Chains A and B, each alone.
Chain A
Amino acid sequence: MSDKQQPKAENPTRREFLSTTGSTAAATLIAAYMPVTANTPDQARTPEATTPTIEGAVPITLRINGKDRELRVDPRTTLLDCIRESVLLTGTKKGCDHGQCGACTVHVDGRRVVSCLSLALMHDGKEITTIEGLGTPEAMHPMQASFLACDGYQCGYCTSGQIMSAVALLKEPCGPDDASVKELMSGNICRCGAYANIVAAVQQVRKQGSGV
């Protein structure tokens, strides 16, 4: 092993670890959703580039974060699984997978939805925005910056859903008080209980009048 590879092997990210261990669970998951026959991680990361092999797959185009994605999906594929497993944008999280927790919240044509209770096929031609489309670590969306400033999270698993909901809320009818924010954010569960800071983060952006 060369010196160059050494640091990565010693300190792999969770995602690198999961994608290279070759565990049965991970392999099965990837095989079920990846419309490719590639063996290497690099090839596996460009699913649109290769011929799909899923029987009964249907071609669709989703405009995700401003980029058209030509995909072939099994009709059963939820928008959530499509975003995570076919397009490999893993910022959107799978929590309950039954529309009860809000971790999978994304925007479809500018409106927030839970992507787990929606089929990818239903959104052919639609504009999808995920957390990756809001901002980058260098140029964060004001809501992302506000969550950071207000410490609006603990473990972080619900955070992308919380932020997608919060950004959508800025354009929805919502009273000025904290109670109104809590009501309109109630579809996003935080098991760490960072609610007070989440409300503070949302209110900070609303008071600044930015990010809308």
Chain B
Amino acid sequence: MHSFEFVRPENAATAITAAGQAKTAQQGAEVRFLAGGTTLIDLMKLEVETPSRRLDINRLPFDKIEEMPDGGLKIGATVRNSDLANHARVQRDYSVLSQAILAGASAQLRNMATTAGNLLQRTRCVYFRDTAMPCNKREPGSGCPAITGSNRTLAILGTSDKCIATNPSDMCVAMAALEAIIHVEGPGGARTIAFGDFHLLPGSTPHRETVLEPGDLITHVTLPPPKTGSRQVYLKLRDRASYEFALASAAVVINLTRGSISYVRIAMGGVGTKPWRSPEAEAVLTGKPANAANFRQAAEAALRNAKPQSENKFKIELAKRCLTHALQTAVNG
């Protein structure tokens, strides 16, 4: 691991000013906020990330889950994944989020990993994690060996000819379906970012993964008031029963009125270069009867633009069945 300066800022303003001195908030940032450390310390050991300053934000007052006046929920940036997943309100009203978090990582990692850190979780692409290999995400312009190499677990949606790395987060898939809002404070003040606008497609700049700029500090995430009577399911398919990243996953929030779908939100994981909301699948289902034929049509719509790589064509059918099964499970509820 490269050496670095460890700083514990007294408050958010100090942290933002210190981080604002970096040239980028993306891959290779000289200054990094340190929360749970489960991604960043791993990548620093691999020398994929080599920040010269680390700002420990664990003791800033962002570790609370609070009720919002509108009935929504405010989740602090450093709330641990396990505390979020086991929170009574989350289990009752946003159960897809609880299910998604508990489907990810291990109990130990969930005790460490934070809300904001999970939003910024990095890809598990083996080429990104290996500094002996080229990688456009790690070293822009160096190439993408995954396209012709080991790509079984990589993305089929949102890819470019520069990068096919999968976003590995489970939490983010649920938050996409719940239409969470990300709250950021930066050198220019506070702002909010709709969940769907937070992560970027790789395009020709895969080293840019989010809209965050230097000094931007995620302070909390808010969830809108829960959909009364909604049924929620997170289904994750993977190579082993536990402690593995998704090959395909689906988050479903669905309301039925007399057998018809009056409200539905769908997001998928393990298949996209970012947490993959599917407005196409939602459009197919809205106003339609909740039955197997419509669920299959929605899955076809969700994967219509899928582009398989040499080793992961199976993911297209897997993802379709994953979504269909999640929808069926939700309505059978």
Contacts and interface: CB of A to CB of B under 8 A. Distances in A.
B42 interface: yes
A117 B42 contact: yes
Interface centre among A99, A121, A172, A187 (most CB of B within 10 A): A99
A75 B3 CA distance: 8
B111 interface: yes
Contact of B106 (A102, A118, A121): A102
Interface centre among A98, A122, A184 (most CB of B within 10 A): A122
B107 A112 contact: yes
A102 B5 contact: no
Nearest to B7: A75
Contacts of A30: none
Interface string B32-75: 00100110011001100000001010100000000000000000
B243 A187 contact: yes
Contacts of A66: none
A114 B108 contact: yes
B56 A122 contact: yes
Nearest to B105: A187
A114 B109 contact: yes
Given A117-B41, A186-B243, A172 B56 contact: no
B37 A122 contact: yes
A177 interface: no
Contact of A111 (B6, B58, B111, B243): B111
A186 B106 contact: yes
A76 interface: yes
B42 A76 contact: no
B4 interface: yes
A198 to B, nearest CB: 14
Contacts of A113: 108, 111-112
Nearest to B85: A173
Interface centre among B6, B42, B106 (most CB of A within 10 A): B106
A2 to B, nearest CB: 45
Interface string B229-251: 00000000000011100000000
Given A99-B42, A117-B42, A186 B242 contact: yes
A209 interface: no
A176 interface: no
B246 to A, nearest CB: 15
B41 A118 contact: yes
Contacts of B107: 112, 165, 168-169, 172, 184-185, 187
Contacts of A102: 106, 108
Interface string B254-273: 00000000000000000000
B286 interface: no
A38 B286 CA distance: 73
Interface in B79-118: 82, 86, 105-109, 111-112
Interface string B296-323: 0000000000000000000000000000
A99 B109 contact: yes
B109 A76 contact: no
Contacts of B37: 117-119, 122
A187 B106 contact: yes
A58 interface: yes
B108 A119 contact: no
Contacts of B86: 173
B243 A99 contact: no
B1 interface: yes
A169 B108 CA distance: 10
Contacts of A127: none
A70 interface: no
Interface string A162-196: 00010011001100000000111111100000000
A185 B38 CA distance: 18
Given A56-B3, A173-B86, A183-B242, A98 B58 contact: no
Nearest 7 A-B pairs (CB), nearest first?
A: A187-B106, A186-B242, A186-B243, A75-B6, A76-B1, A114-B108, A111-B111
